[in-house]
Amino acid sequence: MTNKKLAYIILILFCFSCKSNTEEKQNNTYSDVVSVAAMKDVMWKGELFSKIKLDTIKPKNGLYGLGPETYLRGEIVINNGKTYVSRVLTDSTMAVNEISNAEAPFFVYANVTEWSKIKLPSSVKSIKDLESFIDNNTKSQKRPFVFKLDGRISAATIHIQNLPKGTKVSSPKEAHQGQINYQLESEDVEIIGFFSTEHQGIFTHHDSFLHMHLISKDKTKMGHLDDVAFNEMSLLLPKS
């Protein structure tokens, strides 16, 4: 074998190794939760392109997940194996569609088929209250984890990312250009959320242990949950 051929083979093996290492860093499994890429890389590095095709995730049974749509053109939630994407139509209207082959620049997901269900106490009135309640009542549980809320909200604010095409992003402020907020009142909803005390900037924001997307029971409204006043709600946690 000539030195030239040997060098070529070494180069190919090196490139393959780099690719494998990159893919390993992109997909991280934490107990029962899988995180793909990172929120901070989207917000600060402008990595808006697809890091995962959601129709490749298996199995679908009991699958829950959330993240933004590629290029920050919408919001995504997977609710028990069904993938929904919301996109802005106007300042007051949105479109919510079931799109199995949606793609995301970062995403978090988990499979849960058995839940423990408790009534959310009336003392839990806000997202901060919910964060404290979940944290205090899951100290012995494997973390991070997915959870659900099911019931009625008195009011809520959700947003949908709507980044103008061609926009370059190098900060959270730039990433939220075009974002539209929507107000909900007296809605029956499901809220899919992920809890972690160790993944701020990965799949939760820097100032929160929660990342939640809300979808109305009639599937006409869906987005990232920013604010909420809970009414009659049940909290579902994965069975240990």
pLDDT value of residue 240: 73
The mean pLDDT value for 9-27 works out to 43
pLDDT value of residue 17: 42
Of all residues in the chain, the percent with pLDDT exceeding 90 is 80
pLDDT value of residue 13: 44
pLDDT value of residue 23: 37
Per-residue pLDDT tens digits for 113-128: 999 999 999 999 999 9
Q: Is the pLDDT of residue 24 over 70?
A: no
**Mind giving me the DSSP string for the chain?**
--HHHHHHHHHHHHHHHHHHHHHHHHEEEETTEEEES-HHHHHHH---S-SEEGGG----TTEEEEEEPGGG-SEEEEETTEEEEEEESSSS-EEEEE-TT-EESSEEEEE---EEEEEPPTT--SHHHHHHHHHHT-TTS-SSEEEEEEEEEEEEEEEE--PPTT---SSHHHHTTT-EEEEEEEEEEEEEEEE-SS-BTTTB-TT-SEEEEEEETTSS-EEEEEEEEEEEEEEEEE--
Per-residue pLDDT tens digits for 88-111: 999 999 999 999 999 999 999 999
Question: pTM of this prediction?
Answer: 0.87
Q: Is the pLDDT of residue 5 over 80?
A: no
pLDDT value of residue 126: 94
Task: Report which of residues 1 and 196 the model is more confident about.
Answer: 196
Average pLDDT, the chain: 89
pLDDT value of residue 27: 64
> 194 to each of 21, 142, 204, how far by Cα in Å?
26, 12, 8
The mean pLDDT value for 135-150 works out to 94
Going by pLDDT thresholds of 50, 70 and 90, the confidence category of residue 12 is very low
pLDDT value of residue 11: 44
